[in-house]
Structure 1
Amino acid sequence: MRLDKLLANMGFGTRKTVKDVLKSKEVTVNGLVEKEGKKQVNPEKDAIAVSGEAIQYQEFVYFMLHKPQGVVSATTDNVHKTVIDLLQPQDQSRDPFPVGRLDKDTEGLLILTNDGTLAHNLLSPKKHVDKCYQASIEGIVDEQDIQEFASGITLDDGFNCQSAKLEIESIDVEKEQSVIRVTIHEGKFHQVKRMFEAVDKSVSYLKRLSMGEVQLDETLKLGEYRPLTKAELDSLTHS
């Protein structure tokens, strides 16, 4: 790997601005000052330091974001703010992307990473990775709905959803509203909303609570994020 790429990936600037860091003579490789960005280094074998501080290279990054409404689950968008825009510049430089999508008006847990293999495994229907949501529903959710979700809802385009677990948290009879939790395995476009449309109800609020065994850290405010813990990452890699 080129030294300038490694430094850029570790948050010391872009490939261009890293040149200034190298010119400062503060970068050492195996104890020797190195000013050439094109120098090839091995992060696992070479001792690389900036201003005397050793650099521990991490190939992949894994973040948990508490996604707010009004932000799109994309890396770029010409109109709307993206989830990547919520990250610090040094984290943006690692080229993370959202694992799956949450609708623009949906809140909750979103995992961001640059690990394509992990993302593929988490999104593959064959892996049966649970995704749990809390939702406010216009309409009274009942036992028949629970049974239909368990049997597999058919969406408006004919797609047959896998069995889903629907749980009722509360019902307001006067307002004809329900608060529920639903656990699904796929991630089709607007899937939860379309599942409720199939039983003649509508979703007015949606929040993802968990993905696999990783639960949304409720201490994170909307728009905040943090790295996944080792235990959280291990639970995803062994899903």
Structure 2
Amino acid sequence: MGKIRLDKYLADMGLGTRTEVKKDIKKGRISVNEEIVKSPEYKIDTQTDIVLADGKEIAYEELVYYMLNKPQGVISATEDRREKTVLDLISDKKRKDLFPVGRLDKDTEGLLLITNDGELAHNLLAPKKHVDKKYFVRLKTALSEDNRKQLEEGVDIGEDKLTMPSQVFLLNKEKDEAEIIIREGKFHQIKRMFHAVGNEVIFLKRLSMGSLVLDENLLPGEYRLLTPEEIERLKENA
């Protein structure tokens, strides 16, 4: 990344606003390579310089990627005065510019990517990219074979065009649990698709997005950093 101002470095890493960190710098609470620096404009090499705040090292992270198993009752937003957001669940986040890639409804669980990589987010969400997204659904009533075929061919959800072809796999004898793979991301799309064939989704969970698959070890509300391999595959496939 090259060199950036010390106050920006500290603010990016969540130590406070630019105004707050400038005060900390001027109080002599920040050292760079074992020397106290009192100038907010001091240029930091993010690759080589060692920055400490009150003796604690502040490592610089430019792009960050978290996999979250979103629980029900939490909204997919960066901040909200009344509701708990998915960013509130990331307790050890350092950067202030994180955001969820796409949205899951408040009552929907499952995979959510949280990052500050705008380019990757755009590529994953751009309609023309048609990134596969797999969901688990539990339905109010059994899904008939005719309805399953309708969903796969495309249904009318009140848009200009029918939904793109999807894949639907029934998972049990009662035919009320299924996995569905879609290549779009319209508002409430899964629920609207099943509603279009006279059914109702009573539970919805996202299992994958592109090459990224929800870690089975993550309970609802838990998260982890993506592995380098997961990040690389996501970027390649997006």
Fold match (TM-score > 0.5):
yes
Deviation at 1:98, TM superposition (A): 0.7
Spell out the pairing of 1:93-172 with structure 2 (5 A cutoff).
Answer: 93-172=95-174
Aligned to 2:234: 236
Instruction: Return the offset for 1:14.
Output: 4.2
Q: Over residues 43-100 of structure 1, what are the superposed CA-to-partner deviations in whole Å (9 max), with x where a residue is unaligned?
A: 24x5233277765432111111110111110112232111111122x51643211100
What secondary structure sits across from 2:81 in the alignment? coil
Query: How far is the alpha carbon of 1:10 from its aligned partner?
Result: 2.7
Aligned-pair identity in percent equals 46
Letter paired with 2:196: A
Aligned mates of 2:94, 2:165 — CA distance in 1? 37
Are residues 1:66 and 2:69 paired? yes
Moved more, 57-66 or 182-191: 57-66
Task: Give CA deviations for 1:169-218 in whole Å, capped at 9, x if unaligned.
Answer: 0142xxxx600000011111100000000100000000001111111112
Over aligned residue pairs, what C-alpha RMSD do you find? 2.2
Q: Report the Cα offset of residue 11 of structure 1.
A: 4.1
**5+ residue gaps, structure 1:** none
Deviations 1:88-126 (A, max 9, x none): 2x5164321110000000000000111111100001122
Partner in structure 2 of residue 210 of structure 1: 208
Q: Which runs of 5+ in 2 are unaligned?
A: none
Change (3 A) 1:92 1:164: farther
Letter paired with 1:61: V
- TM-score, length basis structure 1: 0.87
Question: Secondary structure of 2:201's partner?
Answer: strand
Counterpart residue number, 2:84: 81
Q: 2:223 aligns with which of 222, 225, 233?
A: 225
TM-score computed with the length of structure 2 as normaliser? 0.88
Q: 1:134 to 1:126 in 2, by over 3 A?
A: same
- Given residue 23 of structure 1, which amino acid in structure 2 is its aligned partner? K
Tell me the matched-pair count. Answer: 232
Instruction: Report the equivalent of 2:193.
Output: 195
Name the SS for the 1:188 alignment partner.
coil
For 1:126 and 1:21, the matched residues in 2 are separated by 47
Check the 8 A contact 2:25/2:39 in 1, yes or no: no
